[in-house]
Structure 1
């Protein structure tokens, strides 16, 4: 087993504890890759590798970990548990790739969605936002935003994401599943130029829950 996630889990016993320095070697001529975890279950999730654990809460402000830098081509393995539901995780990142491992309940099992993104749209004068569909029951996710409710994203399949650059303004958005609103409108506040954001759709007891995070790295 590669030591891809081992150092991360040893240092991160909760989402409030992160190291600012680099945790993994990438090599002088190799692009960094990044992996984060998203809890889309109704219970807390624990991700384990041996004796090392990473805890993800069940509230919007602690469901998502930061992006951890990893060595492209190495295998990341771990096990995850939400209540009595368990699953295993195995993923390999390509150079420059951003991966979100979504842990989501499916009936009596804990499933995972591997969402891959290779962003190429950085602009220091604009903000970058994405819509990540982490709800298997939302066949076509969309996002409307701004004062006129203009379409920002359309037809985002479960386990997929779309990203685009927008002006760094105050922004409120409404997610949709098909032609119906998904969750409540989300106030993203004042977007910052050069920053990346993710609007995330997850399953809930009543349809969907929608929230956003700033895509920070450790």
Structure 2
């Protein structure tokens, strides 16, 4: 019997899962991993999303509809509720196994289940909107250049009626990202800043001014242009990853 004060050594499967959690987390966030046996005490290796294990992918959900959404992913995440204000609209990223050759299912309270096709090794955002009383989805394959010295800002045009959305730095209106079509994201690395103000626009029409708060080096952020119920709006969220549970 193992003494309660002694740490039990993990078996092969447990150790493999622990290492996999570390690899998956580093792959999304660009975190350094210490390499066992590498020369030098501080030797590090940077992992990116193209180093994901075969058949794995990341996915998150964003609520662009006017209503609260209760989702039940099948087999890869706990039930969740996506709200109607700011960060509450966006879920963390989840790890999904075995995505090749199949669609993942997400049950929705009061609506038909969603079936979503994911690309192996991809990082996906599923935009969920409502038109004519019915939910619809658009899967966006995220770009994810990573930097430890700059902040990463992704801009999502989740407003189907907007042909060319843009994000501009205030007060002078310097463009950050422009000509972003509907259901598309475009990302850019920016210098860290304590409290930048930006303007989201559709064409020449100002939609919202945003106080982004501190943009930290190595941080990843998303700005969303949405029109729930036909009313344009924009907000900021900070990218997160949910614990990998198997």
Q: TM-score, normalised by structure 2?
A: 0.70
Deviation at residue 137 of structure 1 after TM alignment: 1.4
Deviation at residue 172 of structure 1 after TM alignment: 1.1
Indicate the residue corresponding to 1:75 in structure 2. Answer: 103
Q: Does the 8 Å CA contact 1:77/1:90 hold for their aligned counterparts?
A: yes
Which structure 1 residue ranges, 4+ long, deviate > 6 Å from structure 2? 23-28
Correspondence 1:108 to 2:133: yes
What CA deviation, in whole Å up to 9, does each residue of 1:111-168 have, x standing for no partner?
111111132x211000000110111111211110144220111111111100010000
Matches within 5 A, 1:94-105: 94-95=120-121, 97-105=122-130
Indicate the residue corresponding to 2:214 in structure 1. Answer: 190
CA distance in 2 between partners of 1:196 and 1:50 (Å):
27
Output the aligned Cα RMSD.
2.8
Q: Which of the numbers 140, 146, 152 marks the counterpart of 1:128?
A: 152
Q: Does the 8 Å CA contact 1:23/1:69 hold for their aligned counterparts?
A: no
Indicate the residue corresponding to 1:12 in structure 2. Answer: none
CA distance in 1 between partners of 2:230 and 2:133 (Å):
18
Q: Does the 8 Å CA contact 1:134/1:201 hold for their aligned counterparts?
A: yes
Gaps of 5+ in 2: 1-19, 28-50
Asked which structure has the greater CA Rg, the reply is: 2
CA 1:181–1:86 in structure 2 vs 1: closer, same or farther (change >3 Å)?
farther
CA 1:122–1:142 in structure 2 vs 1: closer, same or farther (change >3 Å)?
same
Gaps of 5+ in 1: 1-20
Q: Which of the numbers 64, 83, 91 marks the counterpart of 2:117?
A: 91
Q: Which of the numbers 125, 141, 166 marks the counterpart of 2:190?
A: 166
Q: Specify which structure has the higher proportion of strand.
A: 1
Bigger mean CA offset, 101-110 vs 197-206: 197-206
Number of aligned residue pairs: give it.
Answer: 193
Q: Does the 8 Å CA contact 1:200/1:211 hold for their aligned counterparts?
A: yes
